[in-house]
A and B are shown apart, each in its own frame.
Chain A
Amino acid sequence: MQDAQIVELYLQRDESALRETEQKYGPYLTKIAYNILADLEDSKESVNDTYLKAWKSIPPHKPTILSTYLGKITRQVSIDILRKRGSLKRQASQYAVSLDELADCVPTAETPEQNIELQQLAEAIAAYLRTLSPQARCTFVGRYYFIDSIGEIADYYGMSKSKVESMLHRTRKGLKAYLEKEGYSV
């Protein structure tokens, strides 16, 4: 089924939208989640949360590229699970327990200022990435957005792993210099 048709199902509040999404994008989203979480159960949880969030957010949103829209949700949900998992490990100490209790007192959502700051940082990263060749840009996005392995990225382009590593090193270095020039302390 075409993406536009699936989105239309969401807009009409037709629950078959979820089945169609799972059928078309289940493996793709699981891959994104697994790259971050390295655990199949957690990855499934992340993908299920993605479907739920998509259901809740379309409408009002009407994504133009459904795969990217869903992938972004999965990536963020998976990172949140990873952070939660890290905090669970720390819960052995009473200090951590007390901190967690105090966390109830502070707003969980990021402040508007933090959101704007993050958006500006993303724009700076994007501006820098646009100055690169498509190959260097996709290599960077593949590694740091999709969290693909060096070997997988080498497969995309049919180039050696050492070339991928070299390209990533130069992009990281260039990005650091660019962000410093833009006033970020990296």
Chain B
Amino acid sequence: MKEEKLCDAMNLLPEDMIHETEQIRASQKKRRSSWLKWVSAAACLCLVVVGVLHMNPDVSPGTGTDGIMPGGITIGVDDSGDRDEESYKDADTTLDGNDQTEGPYIPWQPTFNTVSDIPSKIETNSYFTQELSEDDISAIEPGKQIGYMVYSGQAGFDGDGNLVDVQLSVTTTLPENTVSVMITPDAAARDYLFDEELIVSVNSNISYTVCQYDRTDGIITLTADAMINGYAFSFILDTTQHNLEQAKIDFSEILECFSYYLDGEPDLTSIVAEKNAN
């Protein structure tokens, strides 16, 4: 189906549904208008006071003659209300479109710690895995996707069938590079733990410990660890010097995507063992 058809169909949505959103948009505008009016009035007042003091260095606030405020203040204050209302309308009709606070997109660039080794993995007894179904992956994948990201993975269970971890594989722009994402219910259960002294990079209020480990066999391992909504996330990407630059870009983008979870996500409760280890 063409996107245009969906776009045209949106025009035929029931009026009550559109009106519902209209009201929310309008209420936000009223709040902003009122806020802008007061801030603008205060800013005008400050400017006028500063201007007057600048023009008449001898005049300090409160020294107007016979109770009459120094010239400019009255005009400034009276004007501010009307001008503000007007300028707000102008802003609405000139409409530069997007939120003023939105700047150009700047990709997040975490600081990579250089480490000499990666701690060995913690083994769990009676551990067994099963492939993740589409529904499982759907429950785990974050709320932001980039075209090149394709998911597959396994869930790991203990001997009693309790979920121990989830291991997702996420493809990157390079066919030979795949990011492995290990999700465990708590930090204590994660595969490995780095020293706490490493530099932490923060994005979307999530703290990531990001490391680069140059192995003797020429492989370079990028890792990142973070706690997201109560789950411990470990990201690992093995690459080569030749692909390192692109690998770091992809790795950072994938880390960023995994910061797009709503509260309570990912929901791993639906991932259950189909059989016990024994």
Contact = CB atoms under 8 A, between A and B. Distances in A.
Interface stretch (A50-58, A94-102, A155-163): A155-163
Nearest to A72: B11
B94 A166 contact: no
A149 B18 contact: no
Interface in A102-159: 118-119, 121-122, 125-126, 129-130, 134, 137-138, 141-142, 144-146, 148-152, 154-157
Interface in B97-128: 97-99, 101-102
B83 interface: no
A18 interface: no
B50 to A, nearest CB: 31
Given A79-B7, A148-B25, A166 B144 contact: yes
Contact of A125 (B9, B18, B89): B9
B56 interface: no
A145 B18 contact: yes
B241 interface: no
Contacts of B260: 162, 165-166, 169
B21 A145 contact: yes
A59 interface: no
A1 interface: no
A184 B25 CA distance: 31
A48 interface: no
Given A26-B93, A34-B97, A138-B24, A118 B9 contact: yes
Contacts of A125: 6, 9-10, 13
A27 B93 contact: yes
A184 B1 contact: yes
A26 B93 CA distance: 8
Interface residues of B, number: 42
Given A141-B13, A144-B7, A184-B1, A162 B259 contact: yes
A170 B95 contact: no
Nearest to B95: A34
B17 A141 contact: yes
A167 interface: yes
Contact of A126 (B14, B19, B97): B14
B92 interface: yes
Contacts of B19: 65, 67-68
Given A35-B97, A146-B25, A151-B101, A65 B15 contact: yes
Contacts, number: 136
Overall SS of chain A's interface: helix
A76 B10 CA distance: 10
Given A31-B92, A122-B10, A125-B10, A149 B21 contact: no
B261 interface: yes
A139 to B, nearest CB: 9
Contacts of A167: 143, 262
Residue in B10, B142, B259 with the greatest tally of chain A CB atoms within 10 Å: B10
A169 B260 CA distance: 10
B8 A118 contact: yes
B11 to A, nearest CB: 5
A169 B145 contact: yes
Contact of B18 (A30, A72, A130, A169): A72
B31 to A, nearest CB: 9
A64 interface: yes
Contacts of B8: 76, 79, 118
Contacts of A169: 143-145, 260
Interface in A25-55: 26-27, 30-31, 34-35, 38, 40, 43
Given A30-B95, A166-B143, A121 B6 contact: yes
B65 interface: no
A57 B9 CA distance: 20
Contacts of B278: none
